[in-house]
Structure 1
Amino acid sequence: MASVNGAAAREESASAKGAHLNILIVGAGIGGLTAAIALRKQGHHVQVFEQSALARETGAAIHLAPNANGILRRLGIFAETFGANPMERVMQYSATGDTERSMDLREANKLWQHPWLLAHRIELHNQLKSVATTPHETGKPVALHLSSRVIDIQPTTASITLEDGSQFHGDVVLGADGVHSIARKQVPEGNVEPFSCGKSAYRFLVPKEAAQADPATQQFVETPGELSIWYAEDRRIIMYPTSKNSVLNFVCVHPESESAAESGDGWDQTGDRDRMLHIYSSFDPAVRALIGKVDPKTVKVWTLLDMKVIPNWTYERLALLGDAAHPFLPHQGQGAGVAIEDAASLAILFPYGTPPEEVADRLKLYQEIRYERANRIQEFSRMLGESRNGKTKLDMNEFSNYNFGHDEWDNSTQKLREWTWKRNPNIYWRMPIAFGPMPGPRQTAYGVVRDGTQSTFTTASIKFKTSRTLLQNLFPPGRPGWSFKSPGTVAYASISQTTLNKMEWLGGSGYKHIGLYIHGVEYETKNKETLSGTYLPLLFESLTDPIVSGREELGMPKLYTSVDVYRRQTSYRIKTGWEGATWGEFNLEGLQEVDPSSESGAISGEADDGILAYRYMPKVGRENKGKPAEEYTIFDASKDLTPKPKPQRFFKAAKATFKIDALDWEALPTLHHVISRLQELPVYEIVGAKVVEGVGVPDVSTARPVE
């Protein structure tokens, strides 16, 4: 089962410790058992408390529409293995037997990832019990407590009290105890009672062979997987097969007043077959013959209950699911399906290692995810249950597409990701944002700060005297505030190449970069503050990942180049190029190791107050050519670097040279304009060259806009 790590370090460490939650579920219906299975598979310890003995299970058929069936399949439950059959056709008739609509669903069902099945409720329930409690599934078997009536729930402490006085304590309580939920009374404004919608329903099963044996009714069972509906204005009969098309399931909806003497709001109220036949006396005789084949002792009747939408499903460590939160009328066959979706959402939101202190917040997230969808499907069911008066035109495709075209497993997984990201405001985002915060040199995907203390660096730098004017021409064009400290016509710069290794964010590997560092530069802000440092007009790197992260997160002027280093005992040679075209050669010779304490320096090649650079990001769109989306000067102060680089070995070069060749546009189609400017720089004098080795690579997260 997929799980999504939550709030970074806390959640990762909790998972590493094998932290599970103790979850108490009130109610062992389809929703409660599905939640128990899913949470068990997440590694939690689950107990389920059911007030009945589950010894007199009754039930008819149940729709496992694609939205619900897909979740069961993820949990390893395939309803085909215990008799469920595909839903293949819908036939709609008038009460007198005239065909109103015929829909072949076999092609339509190809729209959905998972099949639409018709299952026997008892067979599904038995399978859920088996999967929940078997020792042969993933996780600790669910403890199923039967004949255990819950009389009190304490949401703050996640504890329950049984009728016999027993108490149980957990981290989470889930109320899956149906329309007459005791758990619902514990959430704010949840002390509401269900009410009759004005309709009741008979439900029963008939062997298919009984319909096949009668010439008057065999027409209704000729097609496997066919659901038939006979409509009158205020009553209807729904029939569909289950158990490998061997049993016919009936739901006969009618005005409550016509069966009030016998109907109740439970599922086990015995109904009267003769009264039922009288209620449908205006229907086609063949249809009445069909429903008349039921064994009178098996007819059940119950009042269809509705309930006003409650504002809260959760409180502290308690959450409602299924009918306890949103009881459904049966007109879409989605009641159990939506409960299964609730269960899946809860399991996704509580992966193994979830910190107990996050329970209440995650339950609130569960309501945010599920509330609108469940209530909307609930309203669809109400609309479908209204009397057919010819005034209301319903779009059944709209209902089906909304109901079936949803995967709560994947939906809740994404919502948990988004919730986790929002809880950490310090996460870096880079394109493409659809996949979440991007891991990089400054953070993991969960926002945990990288450790660069053990990363290594080797920096080879050549410092040279050159034209101040040509260096000055590399300041951001037309942007005021830039100058040199010295008024002279000469200035100093370094070509500095660094090889980084043991980088945590690159899985222990590294990369190379080489840049032009212009020393002795000042920048005056609009507030007349002066910043001194080394100006970085350009930094080449040999790997895409640091280029992208450095440009977007730091505003550094990075481009790609290949960097090949040949290190020998007394020499250090560097070649730079693009797609096989070499544009730079940098050589340090006669290297001699010196006392580290006698030297100073940084990745720029010299000790300085910090690095100055200029961020420019263009606007998108042809009409915005040349217009910046944002631009500003950035400064990374040396005193703020974390971690601090620790030089360990210094080598001075007796001789150093470098050669830059811009080639032409064909050889360097994206870099020629850059390299040609570097080639222009005259070398008046090589004033020093060295190689520095050390540990500790700062993540440059200290770079800041200066205004």
Structure 2
Amino acid sequence: MAANLIHVDTNGSIAEKEVRGLNIVIIGAGIGGLTTAIYLRRQGHKVMMLEQSRFASETGAAVHLAPNANGLLRRIGIMAEDIGANLMESITEYDSSNTVLRDVDLTEPNKMWQHPWLLVHRARLHEELKRRALSADGEGVPVQLRKASRVASADPVSATAVLESGESVHGDVLIGADGVHVTRARVVPNRNIAPKPSGKSAFRFLVPREAALSDPLTAQFAQRHGQLVIWYGRDRRVIMYPCDSNRQLNFGCIHPSEESRGANADEWNTAANKTMLLDVYKDFDSSLLALLNKAEAASLKVWELLDMDVLPTWVEGRLALLGDAAHPFLPHQGQGAGCALEDAVSLSVVLQRGTQPDEVPEKLRLYETFRMERAHRVQEYSRLAGRDLGGEKALDRPEPFTNYNFGHGEFDSSTDRFRRWDWARKPHLYWRMPVSFGPFPGPRQTFDGRPREARHSTFTTASVKFKTSRTVLQNLFPSAAFRFKSPGTVAHASVSQTTLHGMDWLGGGGYRHLGLYVHGVQYVRKGDGGVIDGTFLPVLFESLTDPIVSGREELGMPKLYCEIDVWRRAGSYRIQTGWQGAAFGAVALEGLVEEDAGGDKGTIGGEDDAGILAYKYVPRVGERGKADVEHATFVPHADEARVVPSVVRRVWRAEKASVSFDPLDWEALPTLHHVIARLAEIPVLEVVSAKVVEGVGVPDVSSARRID
């Protein structure tokens, strides 16, 4: 299955390329398996499900959709309210004598959670998941469901499931979602940990709410919508809550296993009779017994509640376990289905669109890393919640458990952890503030860390070189390590303005910059006293935030924002700079005459300096006047030319030119007045040369390096 798809990676990179989805085989078409299939289908993968039953129907009656689970269903468009789910509105606890131990209104607590806490009929949820997985509607290729396909063994290395019929089903990924009784010894080699009895079993059945309301003895238990009720005995309890739009009451009656063990004791899910149920709870209040007596004998089932020691791993090669196959839950917190949904979502995050078959083993290990700690912690909370406490309510303070269970969004959690894993594999990525959002793309690097080359980008540079006072310029040097090569009192500087266009990192657009360049400067290194010849850049104004941020933080360039307007005519080139409408700078080149571009190197001022010198300074937070970072930087021209050579296409020489700055005042330039005032002090003693240069190829300044 191949298609031209738009791939968005963890850094936001968008690239159109051919993506071939994985072939994924899922063993088990329960709630966890179907949710996994839907999420993986949406990632562009082809999914086949192997279900041992003929109808792929779910046993059991109702299921909790706590906020952590409900949000994951909503992400794939399933609004459980539309299939009969009702809101969990209150919890009432009784002892065996029907004395109220606790009555909690959940109206306010429910406002804490992004998604509502719902109670849904298991069969309705299962049917909706199956419909969406198999439907031709929706994103991706419909899932294939093979019924009556019991898996006898599996090979994690080749991702092959062998059916009892002898048929082999191959894939790129094999997912075990077939519940607590998956044969781990055959599926995950050297993993002989098996489910074990917890000592408790549970009767499960439904009672029509109307049947309870019509009986005066039981009506009190069915009057409130969305009410979960628990009756506690010393070593047993009854849990009741509504589902199916409050039309059905779902029961889970947990008790010592030996009291319901009968002729079919070896069966996990056995038919139970009402006499046995009533006998187990014979010491409870008569009103509860009357309620239990309304169970339909034909639908009454009993489950042995199984637990399991922690598996050392859920994955092997190309195979991964999820849900009860990896971490069976006792039912005391209603998180079994929820954690299976979380597993499904986490798998879809690591097996994202574009995952290649050879990446599968590593990605499955990542899934285990993301999920194992949380699943085992919720598993342990469920054990604690189900402990016998002599007839008292099970949890005096359930909030820590509830907050941990409910206050989690697995899609967002796995996505973030996947991003961080991906970034950690690419230590060369650029990081800039704000770091909360990950590494930054920019002029030197694409979204996925590849170097950019602006060979087709264009530039137009207008520069005016002039004689000026060495003393005035020297006052702009940031440290004593900077000096002029010449001892004379006359120095040379240039004001240069460049317009860039066709920059891929700016969506094909561009920006303008204008700087003061001081020629003939040397930097004396602290360690060995070596000298670097260069052009010193005390300030560079730019018209766009993105290059300002990138250049200041990555390169240590002294960049500031201002508006830069350019008027170009046949024989003239005029530049005006300003801030919020206050104009402070003007550069004019007049009498432009085109000349042969062959000998022009495109350097500012035509100097032979080795590169650009600048000074990086980052203030220390909370300690004014102190620096966190302070050092010189250098950009060698030769190295820059090797990255992306600039080719001069046309050159115009100006007959005359002028440069002027007006500092205005602090009211007009509240952030720039001190800078422009110093620029205005620089005398233009004589214009040496002025020109406009057009060309192609824009170096990315990636050769910038720190000095000292």
Query: Is TM > 0.5 for Structure 1 vs Structure 2?
Result: yes
Cα distance in 2 between the residues matched to 1:645 and 1:340: 55
Cα distance in 2 between the residues matched to 1:494 and 1:530: 22
What is aligned with 2:416?
414
Instruction: Spell out the pairing of 1:529-548 with structure 2 (5 A cutoff).
Output: 529-548=530-549
- Asked if 2 retains the 8 angstrom alpha-carbon contact of 1:16 and 1:353, the reply is no
What is aligned with 2:509?
509
Instruction: Spell out the pairing of 1:273-292 with structure 2 (5 A cutoff).
Output: 273-292=274-293
Deviation of residue 361 (structure 1)? 2.5
Find the partner of 2:466 among 464, 488, 493.
464
Deviation of residue 328 (structure 1)? 0.1
CA offset digits 1:233-271 (Å, max 9, x no partner) = 110011112222222211111112222335757553112
CA offset digits 1:566-591 (Å, max 9, x no partner) = 11111111111222222221111111
Deviation of residue 684 (structure 1)? 2.6
What is aligned with 2:625?
626
State the one-letter code of the partner of 2:491: A
Deviation of residue 171 (structure 1)? 2.0
- Asked if 1 retains the 8 angstrom alpha-carbon contact of 2:57 and 2:123, the reply is no
1:431 corresponds to 2:430 = no
Secondary structure of 2:339's counterpart equals helix
What is aligned with 1:550?
551
What is aligned with 1:403?
405
Q: How many aligned positions are there?
A: 700
What is aligned with 2:445?
443
What is aligned with 1:523?
523
Cα distance in 2 between the residues matched to 1:419 and 1:6: 13
> 386-395 vs 224-233, which deviates more?
386-395
- Asked if 2 retains the 8 angstrom alpha-carbon contact of 1:4 and 1:351, the reply is no
> 45-54 vs 405-414, which deviates more?
405-414
State the one-letter code of the partner of 1:468: R
Cα distance in 2 between the residues matched to 1:511 and 1:537: 20
1:343 corresponds to 2:366 = no
1:229 corresponds to 2:227 = no
- Asked if 2 retains the 8 angstrom alpha-carbon contact of 1:204 and 1:300, the reply is yes
CA offset digits 1:523-580 (Å, max 9, x no partner) = 1212233211111111111112211111011100011222111111111111112222
Cα distance in 1 between the residues matched to 2:462 and 2:266: 84
Cα distance in 2 between the residues matched to 1:172 and 1:363: 9
State the one-letter code of the partner of 1:495: V
- Asked if 1 retains the 8 angstrom alpha-carbon contact of 2:349 and 2:411, the reply is yes
State the one-letter code of the partner of 1:419: W
What is aligned with 2:481?
481
What is aligned with 2:123?
122
Cα distance in 2 between the residues matched to 1:339 and 1:348: 15
**Counterparts in 2 of 1:431 and 1:278: CA distance versus 1, 3 Å:** same
**Counterparts in 2 of 1:604 and 1:327: CA distance versus 1, 3 Å:** farther
What is aligned with 1:492?
492
Deviation of residue 189 (structure 1)? 5.9
Find the partner of 2:9 among 3, 6, 28.
6
State the one-letter code of the partner of 1:84: A
Cα distance in 2 between the residues matched to 1:680 and 1:208: 89
Secondary structure of 1:223's counterpart equals coil
CA offset digits 1:505-526 (Å, max 9, x no partner) = 1212211111111112111212
Cα distance in 2 between the residues matched to 1:234 and 1:344: 36
State the one-letter code of the partner of 2:75: R
Secondary structure of 1:296's counterpart equals coil
Deviation of residue 203 (structure 1)? 1.2
Secondary structure of 2:381's counterpart equals helix
- Asked if 2 retains the 8 angstrom alpha-carbon contact of 1:153 and 1:183, the reply is no
Deviation of residue 400 (structure 1)? 1.8
Cα distance in 2 between the residues matched to 1:362 and 1:262: 46
Deviation of residue 57 (structure 1)? 4.8
CA offset digits 1:210-243 (Å, max 9, x no partner) = 2223221122111122211110111001111222
Cα distance in 1 between the residues matched to 2:56 and 2:368: 33
User: What's the % identity of the aligned pairs?
Assistant: 55
Unaligned runs of 5+ residues in structure 1 are: none
**Counterparts in 2 of 1:673 and 1:57: CA distance versus 1, 3 Å:** closer
Deviation of residue 393 (structure 1)? 5.3
Secondary structure of 1:106's counterpart equals coil
What is aligned with 1:639?
638
Secondary structure of 1:497's counterpart equals strand
> 76-85 vs 330-339, which deviates more?
76-85
Cα distance in 2 between the residues matched to 1:558 and 1:409: 40
Secondary structure of 2:298's counterpart equals helix
**Counterparts in 2 of 1:370 and 1:670: CA distance versus 1, 3 Å:** same
- Asked if 2 retains the 8 angstrom alpha-carbon contact of 1:197 and 1:304, the reply is yes
- Asked if 1 retains the 8 angstrom alpha-carbon contact of 2:153 and 2:186, the reply is no
What is aligned with 2:143?
142
State the one-letter code of the partner of 1:374: A
Deviation of residue 183 (structure 1)? 5.2
Question: For the aligned residues, what is the CA RMSD?
Answer: 2.2
Deviation of residue 693 (structure 1)? 0.3
- Asked if 1 retains the 8 angstrom alpha-carbon contact of 2:514 and 2:540, the reply is yes
Deviation of residue 132 (structure 1)? 0.8
Secondary structure of 1:548's counterpart equals helix
- Asked if 2 retains the 8 angstrom alpha-carbon contact of 1:183 and 1:320, the reply is no
State the one-letter code of the partner of 1:496: S
State the one-letter code of the partner of 2:9: G
Cα distance in 2 between the residues matched to 1:606 and 1:385: 82
Deviation of residue 7 (structure 1)? 6.5
- Asked if 1 retains the 8 angstrom alpha-carbon contact of 2:154 and 2:162, the reply is yes
Secondary structure of 1:139's counterpart equals coil
> 273-282 vs 51-60, which deviates more?
51-60
TM-score by length of 1: 0.95
What is aligned with 1:160?
161
What is aligned with 1:37?
38
Cα distance in 2 between the residues matched to 1:311 and 1:679: 72
CA offset digits 1:311-362 (Å, max 9, x no partner) = 3222332221101111000111110111011111212232322233332232
1:689 corresponds to 2:690 = yes
Cα distance in 1 between the residues matched to 2:702 and 2:185: 49
Cα distance in 1 between the residues matched to 2:213 and 2:591: 101
Deviation of residue 163 (structure 1)? 2.0
CA offset digits 1:8-61 (Å, max 9, x no partner) = 79x865x62132111111111110011001111222111111122236753211
Cα distance in 2 between the residues matched to 1:3 and 1:303: 49
Instruction: Spell out the pairing of 1:19-34 with structure 2 (5 A cutoff).
Output: 19-34=20-35
> 450-459 vs 431-440, which deviates more?
431-440
Secondary structure of 1:67's counterpart equals helix
What is aligned with 1:314?
315
- Asked if 2 retains the 8 angstrom alpha-carbon contact of 1:583 and 1:663, the reply is yes
Unaligned runs of 5+ residues in structure 2 are: none
Cα distance in 1 between the residues matched to 2:562 and 2:606: 20
State the one-letter code of the partner of 1:494: S
Cα distance in 1 between the residues matched to 2:290 and 2:678: 95
State the one-letter code of the partner of 1:432: P
Deviation of residue 609 (structure 1)? 1.4
- Asked if 2 retains the 8 angstrom alpha-carbon contact of 1:184 and 1:325, the reply is no
Instruction: Spell out the pairing of 1:186-205 with structure 2 (5 A cutoff).
Output: 186-187=187-188, 190-205=191-206
Deviation of residue 679 (structure 1)? 1.8
Secondary structure of 2:332's counterpart equals coil
State the one-letter code of the partner of 1:239: M
What is aligned with 1:372?
373
Deviation of residue 206 (structure 1)? 2.0
Secondary structure of 1:298's counterpart equals coil
Secondary structure of 2:165's counterpart equals coil
State the one-letter code of the partner of 1:289: A
Cα distance in 1 between the residues matched to 2:64 and 2:338: 8
Secondary structure of 1:344's counterpart equals helix
